[in-house]
A and B are shown apart, each in its own frame.
Chain A
Amino acid sequence: MKFSGNWITEMTGGLDVTTKELAQLVTKKTAEAEGVESVGEHLTMVCAARIEQVEQIEGSHNRKAVVETKLYGTRTVVCGAPNCRPGIMTAYVPAGCVLDGRRIEKAVIAGVESDGMLASGAELGLNRETAGILELNAEPGTAIPGCGPDSIIEIDNKSLTHRPDLWGHHGMAREVAAILGRPLRDPVDLSLLPEGEGAIGVNIEDYALCPRYSALVFENVTVAPSPLWLQYRLEAVGLNPINNIVDVTNYVMAEIAQPMHAFDAATLNGGTIYVRRARAGERMVALDGEDYALDEQALVIADGEGAVAIAGVIGGLNTGVTEKTTRIVLESANFQAGSVRKTSSRLKLRTDASMRFEKAQDPHNTLRGLARAVALLRQVSPGIRLVGGVADDKGELVPAPPIDLPLDWLRRKLGRSVPSEQVRSILESLSFGVAEVKAGEFQVTIPSWRATKDVSIKDDLVEEVGRMVGYDTIAPEPPLVPSSPPPENPERNYLHQVRLACAAQGFTEVSNYSFVNQAQIAELSLPEADHVKVLNPISSDQGLLRTSLMPGILRSVRDNSRHLDNFRLFELGHEIHKRAGDLPNERLHLAAAVYSKAGDGQAGLFEAKRLAECLLKNAKVRQTEAKAWEHPARAYEVVWRQQAVGRIAELHPNLATGRAAVLDLDLTLVQEMGSEAVKYQPLQRYPSSAFDLSVLAAERQPVVEIEDLLASYAGPQLQGIEFVRQYVGPPLAAGQKSVSFRLRVASSQKTLSAEEITAIRAQVIAGMEKSGYELRV
């Protein structure tokens, strides 16, 4: 929202600070000023001038004009404007003046020296008129009436979300007056409102959606461009001047935050304005030329025939003010914020009006809007006449109840005390009513423009007092509270340990999106129906929530394999699984990948396994059926404490060039399994002995199975079994391997004798042979 410094100054009767300083004060106490911009600085040099004489330059569309400027004497300029003719008063820009960043210099144009220039409204930044040079009604040498340099303060709209009153200059002027301790002038004169019956009927269907609709009828209207000062002011705050009638409605909106709309009375059917919900299938062509399809949730303004405006958003094209208009119905209404917001977002149409109504405007403001418009219309459309009184339909406007403000409570909230007289003067400067009902407690009444949503409880008043005394007057202090260790979050600690362990094993942490797309999940054969859908994705590329970290990991592997030959990466993130009738089940997973451009991929798989073992003590793997995206012969489950907690696999070679081993662990499951209590085992008292055995087995027989079998035959005296090596090749038959183990045995009762050890060994060999294994002894 742009605020004109001049406009504010008119209402505070001056400022004691520069606009820049004011912007800083407003930022600290009211709303964030994003910047201050000077406009119209050149207007101090521009003056009115009469064209004395005009002469066509041969071979050029330009003309040579002699102008009387008074201020700069008689000057000769070259001008191409079609309306450049003797006798008119226009705007003269001397050499040295800077227009829109361009310095005007004496120059020879079409062979004629031009000393300065004659300017259009657009060139001077007063309006958007480019068709010709300005035609003024002023004395030569004088400034352009009502158009001087101004400073525009740009306030961040977001910081005005809760302040309907600050969507107009008068509201901001009130803040400025309170901050600077200056008086505030009200531009509205309610005595201008006519008495008597309204010349048009108003019928509101639902006061909840439209608490108030006020209107006035004017006749003998002349539609023409507004005076330059009005156009310039609208232009300065970012509004587009259109014609005098529309400009007045916009001016009132920018001044007192009351959006208004003017209908051409001749185009309205019947003598009543209806405020009702749109009918199913109802359409309206709006002022922006678009044809809007409305539904029963939209509120419209309608005449006897159909919708003539979408309430609080935009007027209809066919009932708008045109050059031919002579009679108007001026609407000044109040609409429910939520309803306007919904309609505006459904139609994807945000207008200056809808932005204001969305903030919950004050229903008391409609009459003020009309009164202000009466004054302005009389200025810009001479001869205009009011017809009848104010048509005003409204629901019950319940005043907000006063707030009890205990001053000690205020002190406790702020963390500093503010003298009661200062509290009073701050609140009063912001138009709150203050009464001391009992010692140490104020009863505060809320001005209507702050009562719609912004202020309703005592906490809201803490802000009013706090910001005005200045938050920088509150010293930071620690609270007096008992000190105790905070409740632990074992999950957080565990996750951090996992991260550190992964990093220690050479893996680098990546972070992928929670979104996936159809192509990504199809590649991994993840069923689309399992995924939670995003109803309004940024692009169809991000329409689903991940049920696996693998799509992201695959992406990371591919992207990085373009730059790197070997890498390890991991991610900790949530898998999001649909759950009927409840929030999705979010499971925390670790996904890791080991990539190598060259090699047979075995090393990567073992690294993935080692990472699993680092994270889960005594984790085992067992071969499992490969999923579609896994290498068909290289897929394994990770088993920890007899439960499958994850997978290790090599990515199917179709999915990536090079070899990538991936690990996926369900950390939620691991967490749920909890940690096992550590129980001390007494140290072995008697010495142990070891012997080696080599077992012949089928090449694809997992070593762990042979090991388990050996252990089962060795009996209770087995202390440990260690894989030593395996061998494939001659003299072994094809498809065979020899696996060597070292078995360590001992007794807790005594030192085992050589005979006893031999007996255990024989028992193992016999068992293995019975199980069909040949031993190489």
Chain B
Amino acid sequence: MSAANLESLESLEQDALQRIQSAAALADLEAVRVELLGRKGKLAGLSKDMGQLTPEERASRGKLLNRAKQALEEALEQRKSAFEDTALHTRLQAEWVDLTVPAPGVRPGSLHPVTLVQREIEDLFVSMGFTVLSGPEVETEHHNFDALNIPGDHPARDMQDTFWLEGGYLLRTHTSPVQIRGMRKLGPPLRMIAPGRVFRNEELDASHEHTFYQIEGMMVDREISVSHLIYYMKTMLEGLFRREVTVRLRPGYFPFVEPGFELEIQCLLCGGKGCPVCKQSGWLEQLGCGLVHPNVLRMSGIDPEEWMGWAFGLGLTRLVMMRYGIDDIRHLQGGDLRFLRQF
């Protein structure tokens, strides 16, 4: 290569690099590329006469040209990617989103508080080998009273204000009839619980409802004692309250058990010292329970000399109110979503 040619290559390169650096847009870069590196570009021009050179000259000129070409390509590429970065950055900045605006679409609804607590108790007992049974809301006198050892003139019928229906039927006053259905369906030994809606003819106010929920439970096996009953009740209550509880039994009268108990737990708020929640007694009434009365077993075809059992009935509604601090029972059947959505 002649010295003049050499010089012109150097200045060409310097000049092009200068233009690349100062390019304002991608189009300027393209212009430089076409002018220098294109098929008919200046570098191509400089290699036109290569055929006339000696092999040594050709090799050295080729080397020089290649170096210049590489340097320019590199510079172009760098500059181009800088332009692309800027463009991307600008586009992304334009895509700013205010995520504090509420997201569209439906939110999950919620389950009734009675459903929630009922499900907890069901799961607890199922994990201990109990089956969950259901029964009808409309019952016969036989299932609701007679088979539970509550004959026609029994004073216990006074304790229950029954809704009577045409046809001699009634709305069940407790979930206990499901005990009868369960014993007849499953036979001994058995472990069952039965949650459900029950009815008492009571005027409605903040603490009285004619429609409320109970859970009934029963176990029948060869050897069942008061000690076992206490064990299951304590286990259930500890599961429910998620802490250790102290339980106590005191005599309670339910015709379908003998002996019958009222089960209380030591007040969770004051620990038994006495406070407004436990009405200063230190104890909170939880449920009624007892050993299944032999007449009840017998009437359901189970021999009381061979089998024993315990049973309990728990006011689910009351438990729900305690759990969530609900002060007015009417909310539960009231259907007000402002209340129900809190659960």
**A contact residues vs B (CB 8 Å cutoff):** 27-32, 158-159, 161-163, 336-339, 341-342, 345, 358-360, 412-416, 457, 459-460, 462-463, 466-467, 471-472, 474-481, 483-489, 491-492, 496, 499-500, 502-515, 532-538, 542, 545, 552, 555-556, 559-560, 563-564, 567-570, 574, 576, 578, 583-584, 586, 607
Contacts and interface: CB of A to CB of B under 8 A. Distances in A.
Nearest to B292: A459
A27 to B, nearest CB: 6
Contacts of B341: 508
Contact of B259 (A459, A502, A505, A563): A459
A476 B231 contact: yes
Given A159-B252, A514-B199, A545-B138, A559 B293 contact: no
A499 B134 contact: no
A70 to B, nearest CB: 41
B158 A532 contact: no
A161 B109 contact: no
Nearest to B285: A32
B333 interface: yes
A606 B324 CA distance: 35
Nearest first, the 9 closest Cβ-Cβ pairs linking A and B are A338-B153, A415-B227, A415-B225, A463-B259, A506-B106, A508-B109, A471-B249, A476-B231, A556-B335
27 contacts: A27-B250, A161-B155, A162-B253, A336-B153, A337-B155, A338-B154, A341-B153, A342-B153, A413-B308, A459-B294, A467-B250, A476-B247, A478-B228, A485-B129, A503-B111, A508-B110, A508-B340, A511-B335, A514-B171, A532-B138, A535-B166, A536-B164, A538-B201, A559-B336, A563-B338, A583-B139, A583-B140
A514 B134 contact: no
A311 to B, nearest CB: 15
Nearest to A564: B337
Given A532-B167, A568-B109, A496 B119 contact: yes
B197 interface: yes
Given A463-B258, A506-B108, A158 B159 contact: yes
Contacts of A486: 126, 129-131, 191
Given A358-B155, A486-B130, A533-B165, A31 B251 contact: yes
Given A463-B258, A500-B111, 20 more contacts: A27-B250, A341-B158, A345-B158, A412-B225, A413-B291, A459-B259, A459-B293, A462-B258, A463-B251, A466-B226, A472-B248, A486-B130, A486-B131, A503-B110, A508-B110, A509-B110, A509-B111, A511-B112, A514-B171, A537-B163
Nearest to A483: B129
Interface residues of B, number: 86
Given A415-B228, A477-B227, A584-B138, A560 B337 contact: yes
Nearest to A360: B155
Contacts of A574: 136-137
Interface in B131-154: 131-134, 136-140, 152-154
B111 A504 contact: no
Contacts of B7: none
Contacts of B251: 29-31, 159, 463, 467
B25 interface: no
B340 A510 contact: yes
A9 to B, nearest CB: 23
Nearest to A594: B106
A512 B335 contact: yes
Contacts of A570: 109
Contact of B132 (A342, A478, A492): A492
A480 B262 CA distance: 25
B252 A487 contact: no
Nearest to A459: B258
B50 to A, nearest CB: 54
Nearest to A342: B153
B340 A509 contact: yes
Given A471-B249, A475-B227, A492-B122, A510 B337 contact: yes
